[in-house]
Amino acid sequence: MLKKPLKIVLIGGPATGKTTVLEALKGENFHCFEEISREVTLKSQKKGIEQLFLSEPLLFSEMLLEGREKQYLEAEKSLNRFVFFDRGIPDVKAYLDYFKLNYPKTFLKKCQFYSYDYIFHFSPWEKIHMNDNERYESFEESIIIDQYIKKTYTDLGYKIINVPFGKLEERCQFILNFLSSNYE
C-alpha cells in the first residue's frame, strides 16, 4: 500500500526566506508548490489593479484559497515522500485576521478540513527583508503578520518547528534532517 506524501508547509511573515528555501528544495528535485499570491497579484496588475489584496481583499483571498486548495489536492496524488508548500491554506485566514476583515465561515472550515503534516516557521529577519513588486510590507508589518500566522496555525492544533537563521544550505539541511529523523 502506498503512503500518502507528507505535506510540509513553510510559514512566516513576508520576506523571511521561505521562497528561497523552497526554490533550493525544488532544485534538489523535491515536489514543491510555489506561493500563489504572487501569481494572483501579477495577473491583477496586468488588468491594471496594482494591489488586489488592498483594493479587494476578500476576492484576493478567495482566489488564494482556491489556488491553495488545488495545490493540496494535487499534492495528495504525488508519488514523492515529501511535498513542500510555500504557505498553506491557514495563511489566508491569518492575513484576513491581520487586516481585521470579516469573511465567510468557509475559510475556517477549509483550514480545518485540509491538514498538513509538518509546519516549518521562518521568523522575520531584518537582514534579509526586502520589498519588491509584489511584496510591499515593511519589516515591522512582517513581524505583526508573522504573529497572526503563528497564532492561526497554533489555534488549529499544529506544532510549529522554528527554522533557525543561517545560510540557505543550513536552513534546508535543518528541515531535511528534521524530516529524516521523524519520518516513519
How far, in Å, CA of 183 to CA of 176, rounded?
10
Q: Which residue has the cell 528561497?
A: 20
pLDDT tens for each residue of 131-181: 555 556 776 888 899 999 999 999 999 999 999 999 999 999 999 999 999
Query: Helices (DSSP H) in 29-136: which residue ranges?
Result: 36-46, 52-55, 57-76, 89-98, 106-113
Q: Give the chain's domains with CATH numbers.
A: 6-182 (3.40.50.300)
- How far apart CA 83 and CA 125 sit, in angstroms, is 25
pLDDT tens-digit series, residues 36-54: 887 887 787 787 767 777 7
∠ Cα 149 154 155 (to 5°): 100
On the question of pLDDT at 14 being above 80, the answer is: yes
Predicted pLDDT at 128: 62
pTM over 0.85: yes
Q: Taking Cα atoms as reference points, which of 8, 21, 19 lies closest to residue 167?
A: 21
pLDDT tens string 74-119: 999 999 999 999 999 999 999 999 989 999 999 999 999 999 999 9
The Cα–Cα gap between 172 and 176 comes to 6
Q: Span 5-26, mean pLDDT?
A: 93
pLDDT for residue 182: 83
- Looking at residue 123, its pLDDT comes to 92
